[in-house]
Amino acid sequence: MTDVAEPHILCVDLVRIFSADGVEVQALQGLNLRVEAGEMVAVVGASGSGKSTLLTILSGLDTATAGVARVAGHDLLTMGGRERVQYQRRTVGFIWQQTSRNLLPYLTAAENLALAINVAGTAKGGARTARIAELLELLEVAEFADRRPGELSGGQQQRVAIAVALANAPRVLLADEPTGELDEATSASVLEAMRRVNEELGVTTLIVTHDPTVSEHVRRTVQIRDGRTSTEVLRSTRLDEHGAEQAVAEEFAVLDRVGRLQLPHDFVASLELQERVRLALEPDHVGVWPGHDGAPPPRPRKAAGAEASGSEPSGAEPPGAEASGSEPSWAEASADEAPRRRGRHAAPDPAEQPAHGEPADPAPGEHPDPNGGAA
Ligand SMILES: Nc1ncnc2c1ncn2[C@@H]1O[C@H](COP(=O)(O)OP(=O)(O)OP(=O)(O)O)[C@@H](O)[C@H]1O
Ligand SMILES: [Mg+2]
């Protein structure tokens, strides 16, 4: 992929170190993320993985320690105070997890929106009234225009909050756990509302959440682990053999600019990989073997066929790790994807098949000596 057009959100090797009482916490440890204009992307990760830290930096409320963070043409590490205020007023909209943080409790839904439009200075008089009606309509909460937040359900409050976040006609919408306080069914309907907003208004949308089911509502889900992007799930639709549309989700490991990637925990555990591993470059993939003493060294493969890795992503057997008979145990990363990503496996919907499911052997052959073949 070439860098012709600048993405709407670009993070390169983003680092955020907090120092508290002389203890350093590396909340972001070289995070890479790219979101194109108009895309809707979810970032998921366990508690403490750095999601809120990332969003606070992207919203201009905090500054990264190092790296690059650019949003819609603004350089978030170097921008001054005046640009920062303009950035928050005009370029981004936020939705926070705590519904109480998004809305003023003593104003009605329509008044909350009017206030946000006044602050942004995007419309006045009749145009403002029309904009309020349009946004409440879009979020399907027009009938609650005259209710205060305390008179609305959690889901209704978050819909009004999304409308408020859109009041300044932002180019980028950032949401931190927007469904964190909602039950499953309400979460799904709020996420669907966000997807409709994304489609109808074309606003670039980034949602961070610990809820993995968010991936059912977005085309691309980025997983962060320990302050770095580790994997991405891409959803698309394909026609099956009967011509019916089928949702397909493929998971990729993320490869950074200097070639680092994170192996999934279960691959590492299953082969007892630790400290050092052996690598081997093959015609269309890279093999990874345990490096501990006693492991049989990989031997040259007889034939490197097209079946060796997931060169046909759809429905292909997941490349993974396997120990079979006297063959060496190994895990591998397929090399047939765009330079930014490396395929780990192609699988049906992760709802049906766990992301880190049973690994299968893509090429039950033999492998070259990593010392001879590895770069
Ligand atoms: N202001 C701060 N000072 C010190 N450490 C911080 C600060 N903010 C965050 N951290 C630490 O940085 C790490 C990442 O925190 P962050 O809030 O980004 O995680 P998160 O992924 O949003 O978690 P959660 O899902 O629980 O909201 C944590 O270890 C946290 O303790
Ligand atoms: Mg958080």
Look at residues 188, 166, 186 and name the one whose alpha carbon lies nearest to residue 175: 166
Per-residue model confidence (pLDDT) at position 232:
83
Adjacent-strand bridge partners of 92: 172
Mean pLDDT of 43-51: 91
* Same-domain check for residues 90 and 142: yes
23 inside domain: no
User: Is residue 354 classed exposed, middle or buried when 0-12, 13-18 and 19+ CB atoms within 10 A define those classes?
Assistant: exposed
Mutate to test the pocket of ligand 1, among 15, 51, 59 (most ligand atoms within 8 A of CB): 51
Ligand with minimal distance to 44 CA: 1
Look at residues 156, 53, 35 and name the one whose alpha carbon lies nearest to residue 102: 156
* Same-domain check for residues 220 and 271: no
* Same-domain check for residues 89 and 195: yes
CA of 51 to the centre of ligand 2 (A): 5
The C-alpha atoms of residue 328 and residue 344 are separated, in whole angstroms, by 19
* Same-domain check for residues 56 and 196: yes
Mutate to test the pocket of ligand 1, among 14, 16, 18 (most ligand atoms within 8 A of CB): 18
Does the beta carbon of 61 lie inside 6 Å of ligand 1? Answer: no
Does the beta carbon of 25 lie inside 6 Å of ligand 1? Answer: yes
Confidence band, pLDDT 50/70/90 cuts, at residue 304: very low
* Whether the Cβ atoms of residue 159 and residue 141 lie closer than 8 Å to each other: yes
Q: Taking the CA of residue 87 as centre, how many other CA atoms within 13 Å lie in the half-sphere pointing to its CB?
A: 22
The whole model's pTM is what? 0.74
Residue 149 structural domain: 36-64+74-226
Mean pLDDT of 173-190: 90
Tens of pLDDT, residue by residue over 52-74, are 999 999 999 999 999 999 999 99
Per-residue model confidence (pLDDT) at position 138:
93
* Same-domain check for residues 285 and 214: no
Q: Which of 204, 226, 248 is the last residue of a domain?
A: 226
Tens of pLDDT, residue by residue over 334-366, are 333 333 333 344 333 434 333 343 333 333 333
Phi and psi (nearest 5°) for 228? Answer: -135, 150
Look at residues 113, 16, 23, 7 and name the one whose alpha carbon lies nearest to residue 55: 16
* Same-domain check for residues 48 and 105: yes
18 inside domain: no
**Index of the ligand 1 atom closest to the CA of residue 49:** 21
Domain count, the chain: 2
